[in-house]
Amino acid sequence: MKSLLKSAEALFQESKNNTSLLANASSFIMHSIKDLNWVGFYLFENEYLIVGPFQGKPACVEIQVGNGVCGKAFQLNQVLNVKNVHLFEGHIACDSDSNSELVIPLVKNDIKIGVLDIDSPVYNRFDSDLQNFFESFAHLLLTYYKES
């Protein structure tokens, strides 16, 4: 996984703005990690999480803070690793093929930016090693994210 992080960093260094950074980050994950069906970002804007760059089927456009796995992770500012989304109270089913989900809040300099959302059709897809990788990936990504 360290080699993947080095490859990601090389890609991030080329980004000219946040859109290109997040677009390439979502594509990188989707094409580097197997058994995923959606990878993307929801960005905090006007009290909602708004869909940003992603890979996968069309997504929910707007999520209220506190709703669903993304909204709850953002509200609590904590990583949520849901082994079975169908058992998560208030889960928002944007893609009925998703069975597990990992959501990582994105915070830079105490400013809440949004979340990295990763879905899988496989139950319990995100073991501790994979979760640690995605947390490191998000941390690395934030070093290149430009604050507005």
The model's pLDDT over 117-135, given as tens digits with 9 standing for 90+, comes to: 999 999 999 999 999 999 9
Spatial CA neighbour of 82 closest among 100, 68, 65:
100
Indicate whether 115 pLDDT > 90.
yes
Report the CATH number that the domain containing residue 80 is assigned in CATH.
3.30.450.40
Give the pLDDT confidence score for residue 96 in this predicted structure. Answer: 76
* pTM of the entire predicted model: 0.94
Is the CB of residue 103 less than 8 Å from the CB of residue 115? yes
- Alpha carbons 125 and 22: distance in angstroms, whole number: 23
Domains: count for the chain: 1
Angle, CA of 120, 13 and 27, to the nearest 5°:
25
Residue corresponding to tokens 């897809």:
125
Domain hosting 59: range is 2-144
**More reliable by pLDDT, 4 or 90:** 4
